[in-house]
Structure 1
Amino acid sequence: MNYVWANKKHDELSKQGVIFFHSKIEFLENHPCKLYKIDEKFGNIYDHTHDYFQIWYVLKGEFLHSVNRKKYKMVQGNLFVIPPFAVHRVEIVPGKQMQIIGCEFLPHFINDRFGQFPFSKDFFDFAYLEHFLVDENEIIPKVALTGSNDLEVKKLLEEMYEEYTTQKPYFELLLKGNLLKLLSLIIREYTKESMPGMDVKLHKYRHVIAKAVEYIHNHYQEEIRLEQICKLAMLSKTYFCYLFKYFTGKTFNEYLIDLRVRKSTELLLLSDLSITDVCFWVGFNDPTYFSRIFKKHTGVSPSYYKKNAMKE
């Protein structure tokens, strides 16, 4: 980053009483990206800015986010993306819990050519940030994620958090890959037309579908009927199917079969179980049907997969 330009901007904001968080202090040495989780005990952060991008996703609870002197209530499934040097604030709602997963990164983590000001639009990676590099009065202070995008964003951030905290070999490559995908999903949401009442619907039913998905993951080896899940969710079959497809991007049956096939690939690779045993272990009751579904999803038969997936 051009630190002459950055320091000048810093001086201007400091005169206005704005707190400045500098990447040289906030980031680990030689790590241009970081992940963290915080809760309501973190406290308020009054007018402040930073020389890096900041993404906050609400895992639980609520808080207030202010941009341009306007307050926005952030609830589960909401996020914001704040570009460098934009002034904003975060306030805890008294008596309310919150849990945030945050991702912060310097522009050059996407591409070294972002290190020069002004940014140029003549290279591909600019597309990942141009939607967020806007004037302060054009910042979108709150995005309500919808459908399968919400689940995918949460999954990506959780994976990034795990990689950052464990720092296994090549973790930075995995961080960058997930970050690019994360930004792409957020850009999709930026370009959607707003839908009246969307926040209310998301907040009301997200936890219901999340519980249903959790139940499926815990009981996929058993016989699971749609009627049984609808009863647990206390929703009609028609409305549950609509909400499930809306949040996961798949029908109930598609989701269950996809999960069982993924689990079967793990068992075929990592165990000595026969194909028939794997079939029954993951919840399929008919080996012929299992083989047909497996080939439809993977392109090869279970026996071929077991013999060749790990073959040198």
Structure 2
Amino acid sequence: MQIKNFTVDESLKELTEHRTVVLPMACYETTINDNINGFIPLHWHEEFQFVVVIKGEAMFQINEDKIIVREGEGIFINTGCLHMAKDQKGTGCVYICLNVSPSFVLSHELYAHFVDPYIHATNIPYLRLSPKELWAYQILQSIKEISGIIKEKATYYEIDISMQLTSIWKNLIKNGVPLEYEQKEALKNERMKEMLNWIHQHYAEKILLEDIAQAGHLSRSECCRYFKRYLKKTPLSYVTDYRIQKSFILLQQSHLNVTDVAYLVGFNSTSYFIEQFKKSMKITPLAYKKMKTN
């Protein structure tokens, strides 16, 4: 089952509980264009995420990097990393998404040696999974296997899933990437989350660049450099984009008009809201409201 409108808290942490009835994991197919935003917005979660694209191609952004993932390829996204996804070139991208709690990957006795070091490695926010590499090919096949196992739910299917997860993790650590730990990189990631957290708590209010910078304990110029590095845009441009995202659901409420929505999401001018919405969505807020209502 696809999550079309997953929720996040103020820090962008996804609030969806990724688990089956008894297992701390979830596996489902995602069609990017079916999300309410038309893309998978920026978020993070404590689970590892494994993706295999089964149709089309997508652009994934993980922290500050952008990666194109094509049909048959995949990607591993480490716990706590900011990420988003957009359909690439109108291909109608569909992918299998496997989210797994790190504590479930291996037994408690093996966790400290084989899992925990990868969580804290600052040089592995993600890993490409190319079917040309044997270790990655085997991971991609296991993801598909788990997807099929969950659909069938045969007797003892939970044990079958656990066995596949063990195989996935063994193949992942066989890739041979040396682990690195840089406190400076970890701090940058946390500061970025702090600034985004502050924006998501205060987006409906008047926001100045100084406010965002202060939330990350940075100067204004350093704050701008962080946003340019991670999101390729200015802090205030991100605020505008986020306000527009928050307007989507409100515009579908019959008792709210466009002006109501504009002020509820933090715009102090209806005309500016309409201008920015049209610039982003190629449609006016009113046309969007009518389309969704119909």
- Normalised by the size of structure 1, how large is the TM-score? 0.47
More helix by share: 1
| Structure (1 or 2) with the larger CA radius of gyration | 1
TM-score by length of 2: 0.49
